[in-house]
Structure 1
Amino acid sequence: MALTDVLELNKTELFTKIRNGLPIVPQTQNLLDCKDDLLYAWDSNESCLLVTNWRVAQLQPESKSAGKQLVSYQTLIPSNTVGLYVDRVVVSNEGSLVALSGPQGVSILEVPRRSGPNGNFMDGKAKITCRTYSLDALLFQNNPQLEVRQVRWHPDSVSDSTLLVLFSNNTIRVYNHTKLRHVWKVGPHTVKTGANTSLSDFGELSVDFDIAPAVKSRNEASNVLSTTTNSLNQSNKTLAAAKAKKERVEWPIVILRENGNIYILLAGIDSEVTRLQGPITISPQTSANYGLESCALLIIPSLPPTVIIAESTGKLHHALLLEAETTEHYLNEVDDGLLIEPSEWTLHVTETVELELGLSSSAANGTSETYNCPMYLKRDLINEMRYFAYHNAGLHIITVNFIAELQRFLDSEAADNQLALASASSAEYILCTKFDSSDRINAVFGIALLQMPAGLVLLLSSGQVISLKLVIDAQLLMTPKDQTLRKVTDAVLEQQGMGPSFVDTIKGLLQRSVSQPILANKLNASSAHERYELLNQSIEVLRSQYLKRHELVRAEFAKRINCIKLQKKQQLDEIKSLEHEREIISERAHKLAERFEEISDNQELLVRRCQKLMQEANTTLPNNVVAEREFTLEVARINKATKSLAAALDTAKKTSNKQRYHIGKSQESGKSSTYELPEKQQRTITDVLTQLSSEIDRQIADIKRMNKIVGT
């Protein structure tokens, strides 16, 4: 149980209560939903909604060891009894409302505020009465044949309260809380009256819809243009008001019919008038039409949007929703009152993935019997490249790999970049609930996706709960160093024009066309013969899809090792040869360096000699300029004067030193005797010395000035 129930939800009181009141009809439905850290589950027995904090529930063993009170579930009791059969629980985008949908009606339950240490409702109160209201109850009473096909919350709702409901009469009703805002017609009227034939025989019933990313309203753009043209003579105030008008957008609502036709309804959240286009062209054309038994539709908000069309036969068509180069118009022969505009969109099918619906023993015996059942699709909000397909026979996880190629193409700035959708999608059979040829099924009754950490919770019709952990992205398992090395290797291989890397080759060898899913237990035990056939089939899958591929990988590794050994030996020989050449080059470089130093010294000597010769030749030229001659004579005169001044300066320095010597000697003799000069003589000597010092300072200043003039 630990391998298939990592969160140990089978032991919780919530699913014990749910298990005792599961619906009797074993058809695929979704009684679970998750928003943030709250897991919602519908109790069909008591017609109430059970809620638990799954993150806090994971800490129950620690809380029990610490002596704390275990966190239990809360019961949200509707204020008005929900009398309809609920087969779908859908929480709004912000988690403030919960839509309880069934074939014969829709009810909205208002979620109370969260408070308390664990983020429970109303500080952890066990039972809470919540305001509940039904949508168009009289409509279903007056039209018992009317059924609900799909419900989705509108992503553009500011108050998180706009709900879109698709009915079996080809209409979409838009509700805001309890109020009916709009009724959008998306197809011909299909109600059977008297002996008239129902349009379901022709596949004209709408079975599913999804909302694509918003686009700019073309009608709004034309209205703004016409308003600007007509208001040229108006005042500046009117023009400013027209510019300040908010730009409106339209949300393409992609509608799927049973016969595989795709229609698009362009409408804003408050649009009274809508635009219906279709059926849009699906390319490339094939001998068999796409989606003859269509049952589900899903849109992945890539650029361009990716449309998933599911068939009850197990086929999944992956297509890109593109704008058409030219509009195409189709005549509506079923209902003349339905206005259909020329189609502005096309669908380009990139690939078709075929799923295995159960492990039937008849398939193992080679018979052609196949099991078909309605499929339901659910997006993965964490990884946009992945979505889930659940049905009566279990659960598949499909990864659309070409979305990453689209993103790389859009991010690339190269002018010659070309888009080639070469990566095929991968489908993994995670859970199998049907592995024999009998009519017994163990359908999926609920699926909820957990976030942070990523996980998956499945409720089966047998009452078993499957909880698994999911990897957000396989690239996250690689360290940043490995990712950098992988990018560098791919870039080098691309530059060298080489083939795929060894890692890609190994991945290609290990890629399986059939996976061995988890086998869920059933309410009724199978016979010994069926178990024996299942064992043989599992062994055959392990041999053909696992062991055989591992043998191929081992042979590829051996081949790779031999090739690497040969390359290593060759590289070692090349290294020895390069080492010898490096020694020779080093010796030559040393000799060249010595020769270069010698040549550099000789060159410097020759340059000096040339400069001296040029000076002498320039001074002895007969056609020398008069100014140059005068400048030469002036320089010679200044040089002679400088020499005479230098000689006079030396004489003055000697005289000054001699006088200083005599002064010092006289001072010493004066200290030894008490003889003092008369005041007149002392003043005369002081004047003479002052005059000599001034004369010396003047001569020094003249010498410095002469040096500056001469430039020496």
Structure 2
Amino acid sequence: MSIQKFRDAIENHTIFHQLEWNNADDSVSDKPQQLMHIHDGSLYVWDNQNSCLNVVSLAKAQDHQDDDIQKLKCSPPPTFDVKRIIFNSSGTRVALVGDKCAAVLVLPERWRQSKQGSHTYCKCLPVAERYFRTSVSVKVLEAAWHPGSPGDNHLCLLLSDNTLRVFQTGADLQSPVQLHKLGQQSASVSRFSLSSSRFSINSVTGEVVVSFAFARPVIVQEKSKTKLRRQKTGDATSAQLYPIYLLQGNGDILLLLTSCSDSRYRRGILQGPLIMKPPAEDNYGVDACSILVLDCTPTVLAIATSSGRVHHCVALASDDDYDSEDDISESQSTRSWPASVLSVKSKGAATEFIAPTLYVYETVELGSEINRDEEDRNYVDVSVALYRDPLLYCRYHSCSKFGIQAVVLPWMDKIASYFEADDDDKDVLNDLSQARPCAVEHIICTKPSSTNRESAIKGVAFATNPLFGPSMLCLTADKRCTVLALLTVLKPVSAPLPLEEISSEQTSVESAMSRSLNSWDFEEHVRSILQRDYTQPLLRYDASMGDTLIDSEACRLITRVTQIIRNEYILKQTLANHAIMKRLDFLKQQEVKQRNDLRALMDSKFNLMDTAGDLAEKYEECCDRREILSKRLEVVMKHAQSKATVLSKAEEKMERDLKKMDDKMRYLKNRVEQVRAKYDYQVKESRPANALSSPTKAANPNLVQNFKDILSEEGQKIEDLVKKLNQMKVAIDS
């Protein structure tokens, strides 16, 4: 589903037309309400008249069917008007917060399996009902679910009596499991006093905490034992605590470390006010109203004031925070707070730790140019609520009775890179000095004129479904829901994608090209031209009371809008167009030059190819001649070696072997002659003996045959030796 279809489906959905609420309280309190929330692809809208949550699936919102709306009714219903609904991270419990009361709505586990359009009754548990009834002047300033709750069931309430109370829904909700006193209270005033003078002094001086926000958890380690003893015993004294930044009305900030699982820190560790640098005479405003901690490292805080200013602070550790005996190294002492492990010291019942220092990076104005006169530039004091952006950690949204603004902090990436880099890396420091300031985009204006009644904002929700893209939903008092796409020209640097393995030569070439291209980034130049100082928001005002713009105000409004569109949109787009056309002409000239260079290179390439062909032919001819000369050289060397007077070692060895064979042949020849002589002698001697002894008797045939065999074998050996000797003589002569 596209964003346009999704916008039409949501803005025309019947879930908003069925709502009924009392708009009379909007003029009394200027604090924005939060009666809408999106969780797991479902839209939740609170209906004060019927005391129920209307739920519809965003994926099925385009069907425009009334039967798709499910109603989660409270049993029993709350006895107060709900101003804010706050879901826990798992979506199983909803905090219903009013001005002076609070309750917890427990959602059934299988309510989603119910039939579409059905009614589901949910258990509604009042929180500290007896305390709120007896303390009439106490108000609920802010509420939030504790992120460190093991069962995701700890609700934190900030009350106007300067206390932060933590309730557990699985236990007794009438008494808190944790009670943190954030300031001095007057003991002389009765608890049952109906007057509002109990906290008047603290309220006037601004010593009452008006807002709080959770930060990322930290690991703390007690230093009650020495390091050597801790290593021997192996005692683990570390714990995970959640920092809570508490904002007072006078601009001071307190820091509270709490834990819902570790009983040692249930009382909390309170420090403050924190040091803010550079110091200011007015302490950066005495009308602080809201605080927001962005999800990043180092910790970045946004402190909003009723005058329409927001201070961006970075929490860092000082140079003298840690000594040499601490577990934190010296290199980490100047890093972001906390660096790795936070050390705490126990002094009896009290526990102390090294608090961070807040460095104010910049201050931004949230005022709208739509509702300001040329002569009157004063901003009306109004309460501001800050919301995190679910997509970009470097962006948040501010909501007031004048509308909604989006604030983008492009320098947060540079800050993170600076703390992750080495101390000797000067390029990161240079990039940080060149970081752009924050940009404010006015998205929705709910008070276009000073005489018009503003259209109170009833809820802000963010949809991150990939089917229709990231969107923001804004519900106003006239039962209109405005859907806007979360788009901005400022985006954080994305992580590099994994690349395939390439050769070192190609890598060096690409790195050189990237350095040459990044030396002057034209895209950044165009972005700087298109950067708007003011934006034209979407106008929304409450026309249900019959308020209409008079001619002078309408003319002024049209003139102001026209001026903003002309100066911030048309003019800057014209300048960007001129820059792009100039860049295009330059690129065309470079293209012509590069084509000429390419043509010259092609001619040189053809010449080099012809020269390479000639060289190849000459090389083949040289190879053939080398083979012929090699063969002739072998013949010459053979003849020269054969005529050489000096024999080689192989020839000398062969000569010695031939001499030995010759001597052996002579020896064998003498033996053969001796054998023949003996044979002749024996034959000669045997004839007379045989004739005299037995003339008639014949010789023994076996003895004759044996003599013949022996003689034939000896003759064969002699013949073989003679052949070998002749062959050796022939070999020597050649």
TM-score (norm 1): 0.75
1:424 aligns with 2:437: yes
Could you tell me which residue of structure 1 aligns to residue 404 of structure 2? 395
8 Å CA contact 2:260, 2:266 repeated in 1? no
Equivalent residue runs for 1:267-278 within 5 Å: 267-270=258-261, 271-278=265-272
What is the distance in 2 between the residues matched to 1:630 and 1:108? 111
1:128-161 CA deviation, whole Å, 9 max, x = no partner? 3322222222222332222221111111222110
For residue 52 of structure 1, the aligned residue among 50, 55, 76 is 55
- Percentage of pairs with the same residue: 23
Once superposed, what is the RMSD of the aligned Cα atoms? 4.0
For residue 167 of structure 1, the aligned residue among 137, 159, 167 is 159
8 Å CA contact 1:266, 1:276 repeated in 2? yes
Partner amino acid, structure 1, of 2:359: H
Could you tell me which residue of structure 2 aligns to residue 25 of structure 1? 26
Equivalent residue runs for 1:512-591 within 5 Å: 512-523=532-543, 524-591=547-614
Residues 57, 630 of structure 1: alpha-carbon distance in 2 compared, 3 angstrom cutoff: closer
- State the secondary structure of the residue aligned to 2:654: helix
Could you tell me which residue of structure 2 aligns to residue 261 of structure 1? 252
Q: Tell me how far 1:287 sits from its aligned partner.
A: 5.9
What is the distance in 2 between the residues matched to 1:293 and 1:526? 31
For residue 299 of structure 1, the aligned residue among 293, 303, 327 is 293
Equivalent residue runs for 1:413-562 within 5 Å: 416=425, 418-419=428-429, 420-421=431-432, 422-438=435-451, 440-453=453-466, 454-471=470-487, 495-496=515-516, 499-523=519-543, 524-562=547-585
- State the secondary structure of the residue aligned to 1:442: coil
Q: Tell me how far 1:202 sits from its aligned partner.
A: 1.9
What is the distance in 2 between the residues matched to 1:11 and 1:562? 48
What is the distance in 2 between the residues matched to 1:429 and 1:163? 33
Residues 229, 492 of structure 1: alpha-carbon distance in 2 compared, 3 angstrom cutoff: closer
Equivalent residue runs for 1:242-253 within 5 Å: 247-253=238-244
Residues 57, 597 of structure 1: alpha-carbon distance in 2 compared, 3 angstrom cutoff: closer
Could you tell me which residue of structure 2 aligns to residue 663 of structure 1? none
8 Å CA contact 1:212, 1:301 repeated in 2? yes
What is the distance in 2 between the residues matched to 1:636 and 1:576? 81
Residues 161, 576 of structure 1: alpha-carbon distance in 2 compared, 3 angstrom cutoff: same
- State the secondary structure of the residue aligned to 2:398: strand
What is the distance in 1 between the residues matched to 2:68 and 2:538? 30
What is the distance in 2 between the residues matched to 1:109 and 1:402? 40
8 Å CA contact 1:431, 1:520 repeated in 2? yes
Could you tell me which residue of structure 2 aligns to residue 130 of structure 1? 122
Could you tell me which residue of structure 2 aligns to residue 355 of structure 1? 366
8 Å CA contact 1:38, 1:54 repeated in 2? yes
For residue 137 of structure 2, the aligned residue among 120, 128, 145 is 145
1:341-366 CA deviation, whole Å, 9 max, x = no partner? 4643122233222222461251xx34
1:290 aligns with 2:293: no
What is the distance in 1 between the residues matched to 2:655 and 2:620? 38
Q: Tell me how far 1:488 sits from its aligned partner.
A: 12
Could you tell me which residue of structure 2 aligns to residue 655 of structure 1? none
- State the secondary structure of the residue aligned to 2:317: strand
Residues 407, 326 of structure 1: alpha-carbon distance in 2 compared, 3 angstrom cutoff: closer
8 Å CA contact 1:74, 1:124 repeated in 2? no
More deviation, 377-386/398-407: 398-407
For residue 157 of structure 1, the aligned residue among 133, 136, 149 is 149
Q: Tell me how far 1:517 sits from its aligned partner.
A: 0.5
Q: Tell me how far 1:228 sits from its aligned partner.
A: 3.6
What is the distance in 2 between the residues matched to 1:636 and 1:496? 84
Q: Tell me how far 1:395 sits from its aligned partner.
A: 0.7
What is the distance in 1 between the residues matched to 2:5 and 2:458? 17
Residues 74, 632 of structure 1: alpha-carbon distance in 2 compared, 3 angstrom cutoff: farther
8 Å CA contact 1:320, 1:348 repeated in 2? yes
8 Å CA contact 2:368, 2:442 repeated in 1? no
Could you tell me which residue of structure 1 aligns to residue 340 of structure 2? none
Residues 493, 275 of structure 1: alpha-carbon distance in 2 compared, 3 angstrom cutoff: farther
- State the secondary structure of the residue aligned to 1:547: helix
What is the distance in 2 between the residues matched to 1:181 and 1:357? 43
Could you tell me which residue of structure 1 aligns to residue 94 of structure 2? 98
Q: Tell me how far 1:210 sits from its aligned partner.
A: 0.9
1:162-190 CA deviation, whole Å, 9 max, x = no partner? 11111222221111113421112233337
Q: Tell me how far 1:192 sits from its aligned partner.
A: 8.6
- State the secondary structure of the residue aligned to 1:549: helix
- State the secondary structure of the residue aligned to 1:459: strand
Partner amino acid, structure 2, of 1:429: H
Q: Tell me how far 1:609 sits from its aligned partner.
A: 4.5
What is the distance in 2 between the residues matched to 1:459 and 1:379? 17
Q: Tell me how far 1:442 sits from its aligned partner.
A: 1.9
8 Å CA contact 1:191, 1:198 repeated in 2? no
- State the secondary structure of the residue aligned to 1:248: strand
What is the distance in 1 between the residues matched to 2:493 and 2:317? 37
Could you tell me which residue of structure 2 aligns to residue 651 of structure 1? none
8 Å CA contact 1:14, 1:50 repeated in 2? no
- State the secondary structure of the residue aligned to 1:569: helix
Rg larger in 1 or in 2? Answer: 2
Residues 181, 351 of structure 1: alpha-carbon distance in 2 compared, 3 angstrom cutoff: same
8 Å CA contact 1:13, 1:73 repeated in 2? no
What is the distance in 2 between the residues matched to 1:575 and 1:85? 76
Could you tell me which residue of structure 1 aligns to residue 68 of structure 2? 71
Residues 249, 632 of structure 1: alpha-carbon distance in 2 compared, 3 angstrom cutoff: farther
For residue 313 of structure 1, the aligned residue among 307, 319, 334 is 307
Q: Tell me how far 1:254 sits from its aligned partner.
A: 1.0
1:87-106 CA deviation, whole Å, 9 max, x = no partner? 11101111111111122121
1:200 aligns with 2:213: no
What is the distance in 1 between the residues matched to 2:599 and 2:240? 71
- State the secondary structure of the residue aligned to 1:29: coil
8 Å CA contact 2:140, 2:157 repeated in 1? yes
Residues 502, 229 of structure 1: alpha-carbon distance in 2 compared, 3 angstrom cutoff: closer
8 Å CA contact 1:154, 1:163 repeated in 2? yes
Q: Tell me how far 1:399 sits from its aligned partner.
A: 2.0
Residues 382, 626 of structure 1: alpha-carbon distance in 2 compared, 3 angstrom cutoff: closer
More deviation, 618-627/279-288: 618-627
Residues 361, 165 of structure 1: alpha-carbon distance in 2 compared, 3 angstrom cutoff: closer
- State the secondary structure of the residue aligned to 1:556: helix
Q: Tell me how far 1:536 sits from its aligned partner.
A: 0.9
8 Å CA contact 2:249, 2:286 repeated in 1? yes
8 Å CA contact 2:408, 2:438 repeated in 1? yes
What is the aligned length? 604
Equivalent residue runs for 1:375-414 within 5 Å: 375-406=384-415
Q: Tell me how far 1:418 sits from its aligned partner.
A: 2.1
8 Å CA contact 1:172, 1:183 repeated in 2? yes
Q: Tell me how far 1:126 sits from its aligned partner.
A: 3.3
What is the distance in 2 between the residues matched to 1:3 and 1:534? 28
8 Å CA contact 2:72, 2:122 repeated in 1? no
1:408-441 CA deviation, whole Å, 9 max, x = no partner? 6678899846253313322211100111123732
Q: Runs of 5+ in structure 1 lacking a partner?
A: 232-238, 329-337, 639-694
